[in-house]
Structure 1
Amino acid sequence: MRSDNSKIKEIFKDIVFTEDEIEIITSVFHKLNVKKGTILLNAGDSVNEQYYILEGCLRSYYINSEGKEFTVQFGIKDWWMSDYTAFFTGSKATMTIEVIQDAILYKITEKNKEYLYAKIPKIEHFFRVKLEKAFAAFQKRVLSDISKSAKERYLLFINTYPNIHKSVKNYHIASYLGITTESLSRIRKELLKD
């Protein structure tokens, strides 16, 4: 229990909680040790959970009607992940979430999150700020996708994910960047010459 308490404090950095509040929080967050290759969410599923990544790496991806796979997001330490459109609207998932490096996660349901908002209002503020930052990051990514070259997008990717870009499969990175694996190889070779 005490180790979970320290993890809760790590999840909610900069917030001071009473011992009673920590007990409430630990009662609704559930720790998961998840192996590489595990699918946490499939497209078409109902989405009722959000995941905090304590360790490891996840990715969310979308498969279009032609069967082409697009990596939408990588999730690394201290990030939150879900299919947020489905999570917030009650629609079915359009994305799949896969564990691509063994992970330690903390999950919370929408119902339990609402419970925390009512019991500990400073948590609602915490999540609002996280959501604002996530929205800004997604908008920045969209603008990058429409305005930057593939090479510039790759450089931005390795700056955003400095600890995982070497251990993630090339086709995952290529699908995230919206390019072929051949183009990714060519970009990496060009960068080695620079």
Structure 2
Amino acid sequence: MNRLRQHIEEISPITDEEFESIQKFFILKNVRKNQFLLHEGDDVKYEYLVLEGIYKVFYLDENGKEHIVQFAKRNWWMTDYSAFFKLNSSTMFVECLTEGEVICLTLDGREKLSADYHKMEHFFRVKLTNGFVALQERIRLLLSGTPQQRYEEFSKLYPDLMLQIPKKYIAEYLGVSRETLSRLYSNTK
């Protein structure tokens, strides 16, 4: 749980006593490659902090086509947030692409931590704000950016993911075909 404390303290320094109480709300879970943490239709019990591994959050459209909403790597949070906060069934899947490890937190746990510790409320607010900003930028690029711009932005922001994630998933995330992604990759060399 030291990595959890380090992660929290990047935003909100906490005492040993505070961390002793805080860590009780989190559950450590090992995840196998290709294991799903969440399926469409599931009750969303947790949000997950990634300690190890690469994950994809996606949904299937009415034709069964996969649409990747998010990748997640170390120190990123993920779940089906609409279902998590609204207490609905999931419309998303969360799949581990590599061996991994996550820390799980329930909504009740999150709310109690926020109510009991101003530092944790601040931590969650900063994380949520940063996630919202990243999501808006992603939507802006999807709506008005060219495939080349989307590719360049992704490769600039996440050079490590470019090397770790299969190209077909990157193409899905960028909203381009695998062939287009190959052309974009060739054009940047």
Give the shorter-chain TM-score range: over 0.9
1:52 equivalent in alignment to 2:49: yes
Given candidates 114, 121, 124, the residue that maps to 1:124 is 121
1:104 equivalent in alignment to 2:63: no
Contact 1:8 1:25 in 2 (8 A): no
- Cα shift at 1:102: 1.5
Given candidates 3, 7, 30, the residue that maps to 2:3 is 7
Partner of 1:147: 144
In structure 2, C-alpha distance between the alignment counterparts of 1:36 and 1:159, rounded to whole Å = 26
Question: Alignment RMSD, CA only?
Answer: 1.2
1:160 equivalent in alignment to 2:150: no
Aligned residues: 188
- Cα shift at 1:162: 1.4
Question: Which ranges in structure 2 are unaligned for 5 or more consecutive residues?
Answer: none
- Cα shift at 1:138: 0.6
1:56-82 Cα shifts (integer Å, max 9, x gaps): 111101110011111110001111111
Of residues 89-98 and 117-126 in structure 1, the stretch that sits farther from structure 2 once superposed is 117-126
Instruction: Give the 3-state SS of the residue equivalent to 1:164 in structure 2.
Output: helix
1:91-129 Cα shifts (integer Å, max 9, x gaps): 111110000122121111111111212221210111011
Partner of 2:58: 61
Residue identity (%): 36
TM-score when normalising by structure 2? 0.94
TM-score when normalising by structure 1? 0.92
Instruction: Give the 3-state SS of the residue equivalent to 1:94 in structure 2.
Output: coil
Partner of 1:17: 14
In structure 1, C-alpha distance between the alignment counterparts of 2:90 and 2:156, rounded to whole Å = 29
Contact 1:47 1:86 in 2 (8 A): yes
